[in-house]
Every structure is written in structure tokens, then in C-alpha cells.
Amino acid sequence: MKESVSSVARANDKRRGGGDGQGWISLAAASLSIVLAVVLGLLGLLIVSGLGEFWPKTISDVIVRDGHGIESHTIGQIIAANDERLVLRTGELASFGSAYERIRRSEITAVSEPLDALQLILSDGRRVYARSGQTEEILRAALPATLIETQALNAAGFFTRLGIFARQFVHFVRDMPGPSALTGGVFPALVGTLVLVLLMSVLVMPLGIAAAIYLHEYAGHGRRARFVRSAVNSLAGVPAIVYGVLGLGFLVQTLGSDLDRRFYPERLPTPTFASGSLLWASITLALLTLPVVVVSIEEGLARIPPMLRQGALALGATRSETLWRLLLPAARPALLTALVLALARAAGSVAPLMLVGVVKLAPTLPIDGEFPFLHPTRQFMHLGFSVYDLALASPDALIGVPRAFACALLLIGLVVLLNLAAIITR
Amino acid sequence: MDLRSRIELTRRARARRERLTRVLATAGAGVVVFTLFAIPVFLAFELLPFAPWPDAIGHALGALLVGTTKATLAALLIALPLGIGAAIYNARFSALRLRNVVRPMLEIVEAFPSVVIGLVAAVWLAPWLRLHLFQVVLFVLGASLLVFAVGHILGSVRRTAAPGLERWLPFFLMPIFALLAILIGISIAPGAGVVPVTPWNSIVIGIALGFAAIPMVFSIAEDALGLVPDRIVDGALALGATRWQALRTLVLPTVAPSLLTAALLAAGRCAGETMIVLMASGNTALATFDPLVGLRTLSADIALTLPVTEPGSGAYRLLMLVTLLLFAFSFALNAGGERIRRKLRRHLSAL
């Protein structure tokens, strides 16, 4: 049947001179191919730029002749180049954080990639480049730091480089940051993001489940229930920054300073609750994700066949028994989906956090071995904010931007994992 | 006697549990309703105190409104054609296997953190587009012409010869597009034609915000297009319509309300989007609709100035007004969009 209709369709297309409308159909196909190309291109760009930061690059020896005809060597990795200059990442001997030099192409006499060029990793995390003969001298200059590892990058094969790449990536994920966000790892940002979304889900799930149960079981279908339902739905589309304003204005400045006046007057004017912190940020995100959670749990409850609960009620179960023993277990996939949707949305929204307590460099983790282990009044770091901060507000774009891409890749990885979990569990 | 009292006890315990559940559920709903009203009430309350409005408030607000409108319109210009076009193809013409890959893929893209899109737009797209604006315009024109040519050829070859061609068309088009892009790239030097004064301009914002909104437009449109029953279309085909005619005269008018919903929801999302505009718009408050200069939106203004504003001051009041505007605008767009969508869904499932 289907086949005969489509052959009729083909015959029709043919009779009308073929071209009729086919151009538009192809144009629709073209939109899809552009969208797909952009999505794939974006993913490719993120992966290449994000991981490229950790791939060990070849060390170059650049010989420069200055105005007086004196030649000097500069050893480092070429990280950018255009028609006029080369940008070379040189060793961090003098300054902590990667140092680099800009060299005019007109002054360069030779660029070589010597096989004996080494990357030296020092005990304080600095990276220094040298030819094999210069190692002693450099190590004397680097005191009190000692040499941890010598990597002959230019002589290294693919698998050696892969090993170095993996180690650098692990260090980036696992290490604490250096004195500025431009050095060291992003461990606190990763922990901050995770603790924030976990705290948020602990807050949002009970509330969301309760509200969805109320709307489904007790609210009925009157005008008021319909109003609340559609309002919750519309609330899901309110921009995140508006919740951020609510968080800052109401939670931090009103509620927080009230708590301080009542319970911690001795510490004033140092704020305890009246400044941005993990607590307020997670409450703000919980409010932000609440509509999504309520809507998706209620949909899940509505999908359960009514016969099930009618049977339970007919057997003499009370409403709450039906709910706890039957409906909620049956709605488990919907609960999981709601949770994961909320996690993904929370992990991805940065704008409200900028108002309620995210910082570019936090001295302490929000979670540690010290009683009471979780410190909700501390400020925290967040991967998304690190992306923004490193890319646009860092003093050194040449180092900041690749690190921003690496953070972005971590964040995307986190969000995509959560979403895949949602797609699989439902 | 003993049994009866035990039954009585159980009955009481059950009734108590029943009440407890009801109270808990009501409390949860209470919190939700509280948030519902907390935002507008809080903002309105903050507006009340009689701090003086800052000087030139009309001017400042005007520039922000123009910026927001400009960003939203530019984004819709990108997101609506691409999103709806992709949805039409995916729902009605694409191979089933392709369809089943594209949908979850765009669902994941919808969850992309906007800060990542902002990063790519600000650091990579903006400087590149500044030098390649002319080439991009040329590519769009050339690609459209090419696509029409492909369509014409497809229409005139016997489709039985290549039945899979049309259903996998996006993949066959990609190499053609790549070839065209390389051709344009070779023949025209960077920086030819118009060079915008600033890399962070409305075109970049349009592309980045538009990209962020495409998955939303796509999913709403595709959802509705998939609900149109096949037998209606089959009837039209049997009466002699071509597939394009069936789509244009039958399917599209039926789902038009949901396309409107897609536009409304996307407009709401774009107007409130913060990180992308914050990173890639230059944040210059200019009251002009010139697409080649930067802009500053309501949301970016809140993110930039609220942390450094003294509560209770005139500037603070202005920001609260801005937030209230943003809230009311997006809430109204969403409520309207959802209403239209619900009506259409009911109508379609009755078909």
C-alpha cells in the first residue's frame, strides 16, 4: 500500500516536470546538512583545541641576529605564527607561568628542531626547555626546585608523546591551580561544578517530586490547577540570569544578611551568609531547574496507565499507599530523566553563578576532610566560569584561550555524559 | 475484640500516613508556587523605594532594548530557516536511520552549555568572520543556487535509479558544499569586500545565538511535523499533487501554529541568553540597528553591572526594572507559545 502511494508520488513529480518543488526539498536537506556540518565542526574544533593543549609539541631552536649582528638562541615551542612574527613558548625559568617570546621573522636566521632538545619538568611544576648540554646550568638557576623528569620531545615517537599527553591531561584534571588560574590544574573547578550540581539535585528532587505529586494527585483539573501548571511550564523558559538576580537580591542580600544579623553578629562586618557562596548558588540553581523537574515528573506520572491505580484503590489501598508502593516505583524512569535534565541544565548555566558566588580562584575546596566536610558558605570555582574567565578576562590570552578550550571540553564531556545517561535510562 | 482494636489502630496509622503524604505534597507545591510569585514580587518590591532614577535612564534603557531586539532578530533569522528546514527534511523526507541519529544528536546539542558556544564565537568565529564576511555571503548565495540545481537534476532523473539519493541527500550535499567553500576560499583573499569595524558585531551574535536556538526550533517543528498523519498526505498524492505541493498546501498550513510556537520560544530563549552575548557582542550599548557594530543586551548588562551596583541606588533600581522586563517578556512568550502548541497537539491527535 505504502509502496504504491510512493510510486504514485514519483509519477506525479515526474509529470509536473520534475523540477517542481524538488529545489525546495533539496533546500530543506541543505539546512539539515549545514546544521550537521556545524555541529560536527564545533565538536571537532572543541576536541582538537581542547586536547591540543596537552599534545607535546616539537621544540624549536630559533637563531636570531639582532641589529649588531650578534646571534642568540631561543629554545621553545612555537605556539603561534603569522607572516610577521613567531610566538615561542620558552621556559618558565624566570617567571612562574609559561613565559613566551615574540620574534620578528625578519630577524630570524635559522629555525631548527634539534633532536637533543629537552623538556625539563621541575619539582614545583615549571617547564623549562634546553639543549642537552645546558641542563646543568639551568638546574642550578632553578634551585631550590629539583628536576623530576626529562622528556626528549623531538626524539620521542608517537607512543611516547601519547604517554606525555595522557599524563599532562591527568595533571590538568587532578592538580590544584598554581598562583594564578593560568598554571596548574583545574581540579577545584571540576569539584566545584560537581558539588554544586549534586547539592542542587539534593535540594530540587524532593521538592520537584512533591510538587509533581500534588499537581497530579490532589490539584485536580480546575482553573487554579491549570493556571499553576501552565505557569510552571512558562517558568521553565525564564532566562537563567533572572534567577541569578533573585539569588543575589533576595537570597544573598536579604535572607543572607538577615541570618548574619541574627546568628553571627559577632563576626560582622565580615559576612557569613551575606555573600555569594555554594549554598546560595545551589539554591538558585534548584529554583532554576525546579520547573523542568516538576513538568517532566508530572508527565511521567501521567503516562502510567490509570488501570494500575484503579486496581490498587479497588483492593482497598489508600491514596498514599497507591502512590508510594505503585505510582512512584512505576515512574522511576521519569524521575531519573528529570534528575538528569536538571543536572545538565544546572551544569551548563553559568550566568546566574556569576551573581551568586563563583570566583576565578578559590583558596579552599568546598568539600574537604575538615569537619563538617561540606562547607556551603565557601565560595567556589566552576568549569563554566573558568571558560569565560580564562578566555576573556585572563591577563594572557595566549595561555588562557587554550586552557579555556580544555575547560570547555571537560564541561561538555560532563554534560554529554549526563544527557546520554538520560537518553539511556528513559 | 483484640482483632478489632488492631484493625482500628492500623486504620488510624494509614489515615495518618495519608494526611502526611498530602501535607508533604502540598508543601512541595507551595514552594513551587512561591517561586512562581517570588520573582515578579521581589523585583516589583525592589523597584518601589523612592531612590532617584539615574540620569538619562531612557537613553540607557533604549540602547539595551535595541541591542536585545537586534540580537534576537539576527538569531531568529539564522535559527528559523535552518531549524525549520532541517525539521521538514528530517520529518518527511529523510531515511529512517538518519532520522534516528539526528534527533538525539540535536537533543544533546540543545544541552550544550552556552558558555562553550560563546567561547567559540568570541575567540574563533568573530576574528575569522571579520575577514571572511564577503566569502560567507557568497557561499550562502552560491550554495542556494547549487542546491536548486541539484533538486532539478534529482527531479528529472528516474528516481528508481537512485532511490536512496534523496533520503540521504544531506550527506551528498556536504562534499558539494565543501568544494564550493574551497573554491571561494582560493579565489577570494581574506578581507575582501566589507570589513566590519569590530569583530564582535551583530552578525557573529546572530550566528552564535541562532546556532544555540536551532535545536529548540528543530525539536518543536519536527515534533509537530511528525504528528501529521501520513494518510492525509497520501490522499493528496493520490489526487495528483507532487510531494512538495502536498507539503506546502497541506502539511505546512496544518503545523503553522507550532512553527509560530517555535519562533516564540526561540525568541524568548535568545532574548534572555546571557553568556553568548556577554562573550561575543563587545557589550557596547549603542542604539543603532547597524548589523556591523557591537551591541549590549539586557541580560549581559545585568551580568556585568549588578555585582558592582550598590543595592538601593538608582542604578540598582534600573537593573531591577531591566530584570522585570526580561522576566515578563520571556514568561509571556513562553505562555503564548505553549498555549498554541497545546491547541495544535489536540487538533492533530484528533485527526
pLDDT digits (tens, 9 = 90+) for A69-80: 777 777 888 877
Higher-pLDDT residue of A121 and A50 is A50
Tell me if chain A has a CB within 8 Å of the CB of B274. Answer: yes
- Grid coordinates representing B194 are 566589507
Residue of A nearest to B267 (CA): A237
- Give the mutation candidate from B24, B35, B128, B156 for the A interface (greatest A CB count, under 10 A): B35
- Chain B residue with Cα closest to A18: B155
| Mean pLDDT across B102-124 | 90
pTM of the prediction? Answer: 0.87
Percent of all residues in chain A with a pLDDT value above 90, rounded to a whole number: 17
- Most distant CA atoms of chain A, gap in Å: 101
Does the distance separating the beta carbons of A233 and B334 come in below 8 Å?
yes
Whether the CB-CB separation of A229 and A215 falls below 8 Å is answered with yes
Dist. CA A6–CA A12, nearest whole Å: 10
pLDDT of B84 > 60? The answer is yes
At how many degrees (to 10) do helices B57-92 and B298-305 cross? 120
3-state secondary structure chain B: CHHHHHHHHHHHHHHHHHHHHHHHHHHHHHHHHHHHHHHHHHHHHHHCCCCCCCCCHHHHHHHHHHHHHHHHHHHHHHHHHHHHHHHHHHHHCCCHHHHHHHHHHHHHHHCCCHHHHHHHHHHHHHHHHHHHHHHHHHHHHHHHHHHHHHHHHHHHCCHHHCHHHHHCHHHHHHHHHHHHHHHHHHHCCCCCCCCCCCCCCHHHHHHHHHHHHHHHHHHHHHHHHHHCCHHHHHHHHHCCCCHHHHHHHHHHHHHHHHHHHHHHHHHHHHHHCCHHHHHHCECCCCCCCCCCCCECCHHHHHHHHHHHCCCCCHHHHHHHHHHHHHHHHHHHHHHHHHHHHHHHHHHHHHC
Q: Range with the lowest mean pLDDT among A9-23, A162-176, B3-17, B21-35?
A: A9-23
Is residue B284 very low, low, confident or very high in pLDDT (cuts 50, 70, 90)?
A: confident
Q: Is there a contact between B174 and A45 if contact means CB atoms under 8 Å apart?
A: no
DSSP secondary structure string, A252-279?
IIIIIHHHHHHH-GGGTTS-SSSS--HH
Q: Assess A319–B contact: CB distance below 8 Å, yes or no.
A: yes
Q: Which residues from B are below 8 Å from A26, CB to CB? A: 147-148, 150-151, 154, 169, 173
Identify residue B124 by its one-letter amino acid code.
Answer: W
Task: Check B42 against A246: CB less than 8 A apart.
Answer: yes
pLDDT digits (tens, 9 = 90+) for B40-67: 888 888 877 666 676 667 778 888 999 9
Query: What is the average pLDDT across B254-280?
Result: 91
Among the listed residues B341, B345, B337, the one whose alpha carbon sits nearest the alpha carbon of residue B263: B337
DSSP 8-state secondary structure symbol assigned to residue A105? G
- What pLDDT shows up at residue A242? 92
With the C-alpha atoms ordered B49, B55, B58, B64, is the resulting torsion angle positive or negative?
Answer: negative
Q: CB under 8 Å to B345, separation ≥6 — which residues?
A: B224, B227
Which candidate in A3, A6, A8, A27 is best for mutational testing of the B interface (most B CBs within 10 A)? A27
Cell of B326: 526580561
Number of alpha helices (DSSP H) and beta strands (DSSP E) in chain A = 16, 8
Tell which wins on pLDDT, A386 or A60.
Answer: A386
The H or E element that residue A301 is part of is helix A278-303
Report the half-sphere exposure of B208 (CA within 13 A, side-chain side).
31
Distances (CA, A) of A400 to A165, A182, A348, A358, B119: 19, 6, 20, 18, 12
Per-residue pLDDT at B249: 87
In the predicted model, what is the mean pLDDT of chain B?
86
pLDDT exceeds 50 at position A18: no
Residue B163 has pLDDT above 70, yes or no: no
Residue that wins the pLDDT comparison between B129 and A60: B129
Q: Write out residues 292-331 of B within 8 Å (CB-CB) of A.
A: 299, 302-303, 306-307, 311, 319-320, 323, 326-327, 330-331
List the beta bridge partners of residue B282. Answer: B295
Interface of A with B in 230-289 (CB under 8 A): 230-246, 248-250, 253, 287
Of chain B residues 181-200, which have a CB less than 8 A from chain A?
none
- State the count of interchain CB pairs (< 8 A) between A and B: 342
Using the Cβ of A43 and the Cβ atoms of chain B, whether some distance falls under 8 Å is answered with no
Q: Do B123 and A391 touch (CB under 8 A)?
A: yes
Q: pLDDT above 90 covers what percent of chain B?
A: 31
* Per-residue pLDDT reduced to its tens digit, A331-389: 888 888 888 888 878 888 899 998 887 777 777 777 776 667 677 777 888 999 999 98
CB contacts, 8 Å: A419 with chain B? 107-108, 111
Query: What pLDDT score was predicted for residue B59?
Result: 79
Query: Distance from A302 to chain B by nearest Cα, in Å?
Result: 16
- Most confidently modeled of A121-135, A185-199, B55-69, B257-271? B257-271
CB of B166 less than 8 A from some CB of A? yes
Interface of A with B in 186-225 (CB under 8 A): 206-215, 217-219
**Closest by Cβ to B120, choosing from A42, A324, A355:** A42
Which residue among B156, B173, B306 sits closest to A29, beta carbon to beta carbon?
B173
From B87's Cα to the closest Cα of chain A, the distance in A is 8
Q: Is the ipTM here above 0.90?
A: no
Region of poorest pLDDT, from A86-95, A166-175, B29-38, B224-233? A86-95
- The answer to which of A24-28, A153-157, B142-146 has the lowest mean pLDDT is A153-157
B221 and chain A: CB distance < 8 Å anywhere?
no
CA dist A383 and A347 (Å) reads 9
Nine-digit cell string for B26: 502540598
Tell me the pLDDT tens digit for each residue of A287-333.
999 998 999 998 889 888 889 888 998 998 888 888 888 888 888 88
End-to-end Cα, chain B, rounded Å: 61
pLDDT digits (tens, 9 = 90+) for B197-218: 788 888 999 999 999 999 999 9
DSSP state of A57: P
Residue of B nearest to A398 (CA): B123
pLDDT score for B78: 94
Q: Please tell me what DSSP assigns to residue A282.
A: H
Q: Decide if A52 touches B, using CB distance below 8 A.
A: no
The dihedral sign for the CA sequence A281, A356, A337, A318: positive
Q: Dump pLDDT digits (tens) for B177-203.
A: 999 999 988 888 887 777 777 888 889
Whether the pLDDT of residue B117 is over 90: the answer is yes
A131 class by beta-carbon count within 10 Å (0-12 exposed, 13-18 middle, 19+ buried): middle
A210–B28 CB contact, under 8 Å: yes
Q: Which has more pLDDT, A398 or A29?
A: A29
Range of weakest confidence among A227-236, B81-90, B132-141: A227-236
The per-residue pLDDT of chain A, averaged, comes to 81
A43: nearest CA partner in chain B: B109
Q: How far is A357 from chain B (nearest CA, A)?
A: 10
Distance CA B340, CA B250 (A): 19
Question: C-alpha angle B123/B129/B131, rounded to 5°?
Answer: 115
